[in-house]
Amino acid sequence: MNIYLFYIALFFYAISTISYLLCLTVSKKIIGKLGHYFLLTGFFIHLLATFVRYFEAGYTPITNAYESLSFFSLCIACFFLYIKKIYKMEMLGSIFMPVLTIIFIIAFAFPTEIRPLPPLLNSWWLPVHAIFSFIGCAVFLISFFVSVVYLIVENKIKEKRFSPAAARFPSLETLDSVNYQCISYGFIFLTIGIITGSIWASITWGSYWSWDPKETWSLITWIVYAILIHNRLTIGWRGRRTAYMMIIGFFSILISFFGVSFFLGGQHSFI
């Protein structure tokens, strides 16, 4: 049952993606609104599908590659809806929706059947640790693309080559404000994810920290964002510096999430 709901959610995400991409060439507001409503519909169906899978499996469905990428895309959709509600940034949907949809499509490349939960993961710490970690990663993915857009828009302004489509993107001040929101929320979620993971590790293995590859890269990522927050609050880092640091931090997240999970192995490997 749950898999059909996931496919329906993917359909609405795809239609939303097409709508937002049309916004790049057509300035009619109705297209952006349609993209928003398709996204909203897809998100609620995706959320429902996740709950259905939870009840069918009997555990929080974030235990393999398919479930993790699906939940990751759900977190992206959720935080983007939150940011868009605050800043009214329809044009950024033309960037985030293709990314969200592609991640969700990639999820279906992995086995989708429900499998027995490994004894190691049979703990209520699983949803606590994993959910906070995934939300943090989703927030920082959004900040990565906001940073890329910031640098592109800034470059266009300096070169005085501002196209009509680019002119509809948020101002540099708004993009920097979004980045600050992402830093604030993402760092909190990432910190809680690391702390709960350490507590879980202590209960399971008797040690808070074992320098597992994912633990190591999570710490590196945390340090990068901690430096960014410190410099922003103490010496006033804004704009381009923040954007570059957000990009660096996200590459660290990519290594932690994909590199460790699929290539480096360890206790956090999905396969």
pLDDT digits (tens, 9 = 90+) for 9-37: 999 999 999 998 888 777 677 887 888 99
Among residues 88, 115, 142, the one where a domain terminates is 115
Chosen domain end from 52, 87, 115: 115
Q: Which residue from 100, 115, 10, 105 is spatially nearest to 62, judged by alpha carbons?
A: 115
Spatial separation of the C-alpha atoms in residues 29 and 245, rounded to whole Å: 33
From first to last of the 271 residues of the chain, give the pLDDT tens digit. 678 999 999 999 999 999 988 887 776 778 878 889 999 999 999 999 999 999 998 888 888 889 989 999 999 999 999 988 888 777 788 888 999 999 999 999 998 888 888 777 777 788 888 899 899 989 989 989 988 888 888 887 776 666 665 666 777 888 888 888 888 899 899 899 888 888 877 777 666 666 677 777 778 888 888 888 888 878 777 777 888 888 888 888 887 766 566 555 555 554 4
Look at residues 129, 227, 231 and name the one whose alpha carbon lies nearest to residue 187: 227
Do 86 and 181 reside in the same domain of the chain?
no
**Looking at the structure, do residues 124 and 82 belong to the same domain, yes or no?**
no
Give yes or no: residues 26 and 107 share one domain.
yes
Show the domain range for 191: 118-271
Query: How many domains is the chain partitioned into structurally?
Result: 2
Which residues are within 8 A (CB) of 191 and not within 5 positions of it... i.e. 6 or more apart? 222
Residues 147, 90: Cα–Cα separation, whole Å? 17
In a shared domain, residues 91 and 129: no
Phi-psi region for residue 209, left (φ > 0), alpha (ψ -120 to 50) or beta? beta
- Ranges of beta strands (E only) in the chain are none
Rounded Cα–Cα distance for residues 203 and 2 (Å) = 32
32 and 136 together in one domain: no
| 129 and 230 inside one domain | yes
Q: Are residues 145 and 256 in the same domain?
A: yes
Same domain, 133 and 177: yes
Which of 67, 98, 115 finishes a domain?
115
**Is the separation of the CB atoms in 197 and 215 below 8 Å?**
yes
Is residue 50 domain-shared with residue 130, that is, in the same domain?
Answer: no
Together in a domain, 166 and 61: no
177 and 102 together in one domain: no
Task: Tell me how crowded residue 4 is: count the other CB atoms within 10 A of its CB.
Answer: 10
Residues 199 and 231 in one domain: yes
